Amino acid sequence: MTNQRLFASIITIGDELLIGQTIDTNSAWMAQELNKIGVWVKRRVAVGDTREDIWQALDEESRESKIILITGGLGPTADDITKPLLCDYFGGKMIVNQEVLDHVTNIFLKLNRPIIERNMKQAQVPDVCTVLMNKRGTAPGMLFTKEGCLFISMPGVPHEMKGLMTDEVLPLLKQNYKMPFILHRTLLTAGAGESFLAERIKDWEEALPAHIKLAYLPNYGMVKLRLTSHGADGAALEHELDTLFLALQEQVKDIMITNEDLPLEKALGDLLVKRGKSMATAESCSGGYIAHLVTSIAGSSIYFKGTVVAYSYDAKETILGVNHQTLETKGAVSEETITEMFNGLMNVTTADYGIATSGIMGPGGGTEDKPVGIVWVAVGSREKMVAKRLYFRHDRLKNIELTATNAMMMLFQFIKAEPV
């Protein structure tokens, strides 16, 4: 086939997605993996466990895309209606696939569990499909073709879907389609808003070639800038994009956190590793959320010493050594208290750098002089500390997330400014 853009649609099935009981992480992961091999995801659609809605989605998406990826509704229970619907949609009849039956039987034998008729039905598939073996579960993937479109149905369980995508679907797409190269370069900035950035690099952006696009991705006081290019000549695109990306970095060098597509916690960890240093946290209002983000990165044990979640006055006093008089006269949310929390953290850990947080996350607890959303953050080393008063005007969860992001950003910039 040609190097023209190849479009895909993703259909996720399940009432639980529509009522918010389950978050659709499948679509995001699938879109990323498809993009890596040159497939553009044109639409992502979520539908409930309703025959008419699924049928309509199949009709509509096949008019938009050549590849339709479907997840969900392949289980053994009555609400899993995808398989019989697909059988009707493609004009087939249900048959038992011996390979799938043997696979399901072996799974239950290894688990030493009895296999019931409902489990055996997982081996029934439409006779008009090509079976894609699911090595991680009992529900097989199914491949259908219709009017030049490829339809691939997979389980909704993320672990099983990822296995099928990696082992079967992505190799199949690469084998059957000649796709253009899709290349991205992403950097992360902090301290400047989206509109300010756009105005700052306006002339540079307007001079970009037509096939290269710049995207602004703002989030919690930071903005990602992503350059995207596509075409048939991968080597030429790489060279052109790298040249432009270097120029973009020069445009924003004073506010750039990293020139990679990384979350802030990963960029902070990489900086600590590069410097051979460690960190710890003393968290009140953020309740350990900063520690959670830091330790979500593989290998963080190299540079993360630990955390003290000192939520109450008592914990601040007994664990971090905050003076009782300071808490009584200045309150937990004050420069004096956050300073003593930081110093206490440095005393009870061996970390080179630290973060301390104390604030009022809401919805209650605020006063006229200390409203909901006020936060004190301290970051620094054993030699030097910087404390800053922040104010957020959102709900509790977002206030916690903003506190964590700003605290990590402050520490990153503090360490970056330290002499090597």
8 A C-beta contact, residue 81 and residue 51: yes
Model confidence at 2: pLDDT above 50 = no
Q: Where are the domains of the chain?
A: 6-176, 181-258, 264-417
Q: Which residues contact 144 (CB under 8 A, 6 or more apart)?
A: 86, 90, 126, 128, 129, 130, 150, 151, 152, 153
pLDDT tens digits for range 142-164? 999 999 999 999 999 999 999 99
Q: Which residues contact 206 (CB under 8 A, 6 or more apart)?
A: none
What CATH code is assigned to 6-176? 3.40.980.10
Structure tokens that stand for 394 in this block: 């959102």
Q: What DSSP element (H or E) covers 129?
A: none
CATH topology of domain 181-258: Alpha-Beta Plaits (3.30.70)
What's the chain's average pLDDT? 94
pLDDT tens digits for range 365-404? 989 889 999 999 999 999 999 999 999 998 999 999 999 9
pLDDT tens digits for range 26-81? 999 999 999 989 899 999 999 999 999 999 999 999 999 999 999 998 888 777 89
CATH topology of domain 264-417: Maf protein (3.90.950)
- Residues 280-310 as b/e (b if ≥16 CB within 10 A, e otherwise) read bbbbbbbbebbbebbbebeebeebbbebbbb
Q: How far apart are CA 192 and CA 417, in angstroms?
A: 18
pTM of the model: 0.74
Q: How far apart are CA 67 and CA 173, in angstroms?
A: 9
The amino acid at 32: Q
